[in-house]
Chains A and B, each alone.
Chain A
Amino acid sequence: MSSYFSVFRMRWKMELQYRGAVIGGVICQIFFGLILICLYRALYAGKPQTMPLDSVVTYVWLQQAFFRMLLSSDSELTDKIRTGAIAYDLCRPLHLYGYYYARIMAQKLLGSLLRAAPMLVFACLLPRGYGISAPVSVPAFLCAVLSLMSGLLCVCALENLTMGFTMRTLDARGMQALMNLLMMTLSGNVLPLTLFPDSWQRVITLLPYAQLLDSPIRLYTGRYAWTQASQIIFLQAVWLVILIALGLLLWRANQKRLVVQGG
């Protein structure tokens, strides 16, 4: 386990090297957040929805703050596969799936925490109706954090699945574009899932994408009662097991038919 933790720590260190990217990301995400909020305010001014505006605004801020968690972006890993540098990773006494999982997790966790902290501070300072609201209760907040963490585990498994496909197609772009599209839409980043028609929501909230950010945010805003948290985390755990199992199967199959690119 300690080796995987070292990989995690190393990727974490590397992420700290890109401070400029963090500043850029924060500015970009704040901009997006403000635009979306103005949009929803305009929508609500015309036709109020069942969900209170405050909750939608909170939803938008949390989505923007943890945006980095959703976006698949470790281009170094996909480059390794494309150029064949993966050969080195294959001669380490580690399970390759775990090795990449740890790397992806470090990048997503630190990448989003570095961006989320200043953004959430900013969102707290905004006036009511524009800024983020406090969580409904302390237990709700704790449950939200817990489910955010298990959501993170799911999203890493999902991205590792993309890596597995990249080993077959060699080019990650198609798979990543598809994954990002599904992710952004079905995780509530484009439009809060709470604003989808109820009949749609019943299906969408069961999909793995909704486990990443939508469930934790609903716990935070009180849309799900915190007493329901165990059910939510159970659903996340089921998806986690399914995604990791699929990933491991795919990776094992890959290892048998592996060809190292570039001589």
Chain B
Amino acid sequence: MAYIEANGLTKIFTVRKKREKGHLMREKQQITALDNVSFRVEEGELVGYIGPNGAGKSTTVKLLSGILTPSAGTACVNGLVPWENRKQHVRDIGVVFGQRSQLWWDVPIADSFALLRDIYRIPLSSYTRRLEELTDALQLESLLRTPLRQLSLGQRMRAELCGSLLHNPKLLFLDEPTIGLDAVSKLALRDFLRHENKENGTTILLTTHDMEDIAALCSRVMVLGHGKKLFDGALNDLLARYDTSRIVFVRYDGIVTLPSLPEQCTLEQDGDGYRIVYEPAQVPTSVLLSSLQAAGPIRELTAQAQSIDHLIAKMYREMDL
């Protein structure tokens, strides 16, 4: 049996709205945050979970971590129904909500960690070993005696992650863990997650808007939009579907007349050069190049693939999200 099995998960929230006119009355509205979503995740997988804002990603995480009860559907994590066997289920999971804090604001983070040790009843010897391992990987040794309120956002995020992993969870939910991290911390965090996944076999479900995170870590992605699952498979397959255009940037010696190009290409001026977007399937690259060369002596030419963010934006547009 798969480690996580979700069948037809549905969550409907009732939202109260102020009417535009008449300040006394409120309207109730039903919002379907999650609409009949099913998937399976095997033990040891590292799955990316993406979708635009409000797609229902966090709701899924909250259902699977036993915080919320679904309106319909079933889920089973390691043989347990999260919202029915909450206390037993949460012993083996770790959760990081990127925009919230689990550590105590006014006390040194080491004290918060010690509290988590007691809450999860981690034996002292394995706790010491694990803490050392985590503080090493997340570069936290020097911060252990600092109260949380004095840490920077990135430092805090690393401390939060450490807190969620102290009890060696078999399953880790990461809800936007790289919010606000600088490039160095982000890279370190990715290395760390890869290591956790490989060495400890931790199953990880990663929710993020940072496509670089997904590209660096996840072989499998699930795309969610308007509460429905739209795609589930390899990241490369997903990208191949939308990664159809290429970009060429060209700069000429001296002033030249605008190159005349096949009409399927879009051309725009960018500084003292031109940016051309084309689809190799429609306009062969050799044809494009010869028409560019015909316009004058080329000083510089760079070709690039569409950024992954552009692709995802295109995908969201085409999926009408």
**A residues at B contact (CB < 8 Å):** 2-3, 5-7, 10, 13-14, 17-18, 76, 83-85, 87-88, 90-95, 256, 258-260, 262-263
Asked if B68 CB lies within 8 Å of chain A CBs, one says yes
User: 16 A–B contact pairs at CB < 8 A?
Assistant: A6-B115, A7-B119, A10-B104, A10-B112, A76-B105, A85-B101, A87-B95, A87-B100, A90-B86, A91-B65, A91-B90, A91-B95, A93-B91, A258-B68, A258-B69, A263-B99
Q: When chains A and B are docked, how far (Å) is the Cα of A2 from the Cα of B68?
A: 27
Leading 9 A-B pairs by shortest Cβ distance: A6-B118, A88-B102, A90-B67, A93-B91, A91-B90, A3-B119, A85-B100, A10-B115, A93-B87
Q: Is the CB of B121 within 8 A of A87?
A: no
Q: When chains A and B are docked, how far (Å) is the Cα of A259 from the Cα of B101?
A: 18
Residue-wise, chain B 67-95 has the 8 Å CB interface mask toward A (1 for contact) of: 11100000000000000001110110101
Q: When chains A and B are docked, how far (Å) is the Cα of A17 from the Cα of B90?
A: 31
Most buried by B among A83, A90, A91, A95: A91
**Which residues of B44-73 are within 8 A (CB) of A?**
58, 62, 65-69
Q: When chains A and B are docked, how far (Å) is the Cα of A17 from the Cα of B111?
A: 13
Using Cβ atoms and an 8 Å threshold, which residues of chain A touch B68? 258-260
**B residues at A contact (CB < 8 Å):** 13, 58, 62, 65-69, 86-88, 90-91, 93, 95, 97, 99-102, 104-107, 111-112, 114-115, 118-121
Using Cβ atoms and an 8 Å threshold, which residues of chain B touch A260? 62, 67-68
Q: When chains A and B are docked, how far (Å) is the Cα of A42 from the Cα of B112?
A: 52
Please pick, from A5, A14, A84, A262, the residue contacting B107 in the complex, using a CB distance under 8 A.
A14
Q: A10 and B111 in contact (CB under 8 A), knowing A87-B62, A93-B120, A258-B68?
A: yes
Using Cβ atoms and an 8 Å threshold, which residues of chain A touch B111? 10, 13
User: Contacts A93-B87, A258-B68 given; 19 further ones with Cβ under 8 A?
Assistant: A3-B119, A7-B115, A10-B112, A13-B111, A17-B107, A18-B106, A83-B100, A85-B100, A87-B62, A90-B67, A91-B66, A91-B67, A91-B95, A93-B90, A93-B119, A256-B69, A259-B13, A260-B68, A262-B99
Q: When chains A and B are docked, how far (Å) is the Cα of A186 from the Cα of B155?
A: 48
Q: When chains A and B are docked, how far (Å) is the Cα of A262 from the Cα of B118?
A: 29
Q: Is the CB of A87 within 8 A of B67?
A: yes
Q: Is the CB of A92 within 8 A of B106?
A: no
Q: When chains A and B are docked, how far (Å) is the Cα of A18 from the Cα of B93?
A: 34
- In this complex, what residue of A is CB-closest to B173? A91
Looking at the assembled complex, report how far the CB atom of A85 sits from the nearest CB atom of chain B, in whole angstroms.
5
Q: Is the CB of B104 within 8 A of A258?
A: no
Looking at the assembled complex, report how far the CB atom of A260 sits from the nearest CB atom of chain B, in whole angstroms.
6
Q: When chains A and B are docked, how far (Å) is the Cα of A191 from the Cα of B131?
A: 54
Looking at the assembled complex, report how far the CB atom of A75 sits from the nearest CB atom of chain B, in whole angstroms.
12
Q: When chains A and B are docked, how far (Å) is the Cα of A14 from the Cα of B88?
A: 29
Q: Is the CB of A95 within 8 A of B87?
A: yes
Q: When chains A and B are docked, how far (Å) is the Cα of A262 from the Cα of B100?
A: 10
Using Cβ atoms and an 8 Å threshold, which residues of chain B touch A3? 118-119, 121
Using Cβ atoms and an 8 Å threshold, which residues of chain A touch B87? 93-95
- In this complex, what residue of A is CB-closest to B102? A88
Using Cβ atoms and an 8 Å threshold, which residues of chain B touch A7? 115, 119
Q: When chains A and B are docked, how far (Å) is the Cα of A260 from the Cα of B67?
A: 8
Most buried by A among B66, B90, B93, B100: B100
Using Cβ atoms and an 8 Å threshold, which residues of chain A touch B88? 93
Q: When chains A and B are docked, how far (Å) is the Cα of A18 from the Cα of B119?
A: 25
Q: When chains A and B are docked, how far (Å) is the Cα of A113 from the Cα of B86?
A: 36
Using Cβ atoms and an 8 Å threshold, which residues of chain A touch B91? 93
Using Cβ atoms and an 8 Å threshold, which residues of chain B touch A76? 105
Q: When chains A and B are docked, how far (Å) is the Cα of A122 from the Cα of B10?
A: 62
Q: Is the CB of B118 within 8 A of A13?
A: no
Looking at the assembled complex, report how far the CB atom of A197 sits from the nearest CB atom of chain B, in whole angstroms.
43
Using Cβ atoms and an 8 Å threshold, which residues of chain A touch B93? 91
Using Cβ atoms and an 8 Å threshold, which residues of chain B touch A90? 65-67, 86
Looking at the assembled complex, report how far the CB atom of A32 sits from the nearest CB atom of chain B, in whole angstroms.
27
